[in-house]
Amino acid sequence: GQQVMQIPQYQHVQEGEDFTTYCNSSTTLSNIQWYKQRPGGHPVFLIQLVKSGEVKKQKRLTFQFGEAKKNSSLHITATQTTDVGTYFCAVRDTGANSKLTFGKGITLSVRP
């Protein structure tokens, strides 16, 4: 199956700073999804990207799928304390089901 890697596992930023994290694969991905899990919460779907070079924006969040479809990035502009949580990338199986294979996630903390 398709595997995705997220490094590092933790990142600390000052409120107002920008934040970028990456999701990488050694193989070409058919799609990439991003989820956010707040502390003590459950994963919440943010976005799905399927096209090479695709860029999607949600307010201060910008998601990009690499041209070779082997990586994806999540960029947060001017972080806020509400951005705290763990961000996971995941690949959805495109066979007869929709099972997700998740990366290990990156936990973002924001200093006020």
Partner 1 sequence: DSGVTQTPKHLITATGQRVTLRCSPRSGDLSVYWYQQSLDQGLQFLIQYYNGEERAKGNILERFSAQQFPDLHSELNLSSLELGDSALYFCASSLHDRDYEQYFGPGTRLTVT
The residues of the shown chain that bind partner 1, judged by CB under 8 A, are 31, 33, 41-45, 48, 88, 90, 92-93, 95-105
Please state the closest distance from residue 89 (CB atom) to partner 1, in A.
11
Q: Which is nearer to partner 1, 90 or 108 (CB)?
A: 90
Please state the closest distance from residue 67 (CB atom) to partner 1, in A.
22
Q: Which is nearer to partner 1, 27 or 101 (CB)?
A: 101
Q: Which is nearer to partner 1, 6 or 79 (CB)?
A: 6
d(CA 63, CA 21): 10
CA 81 to chain centroid: 18
In the block, tokens 């990207």 appear at 49
Please state the closest distance from residue 33 (CB atom) to partner 1, in A.
7
Q: Which is nearer to partner 1, 64 or 79 (CB)?
A: 64
Please state the closest distance from residue 3 (CB atom) to partner 1, in A.
12
Do 9 and 88 meet the contact criterion of CB atoms below 8 Å apart? Answer: no
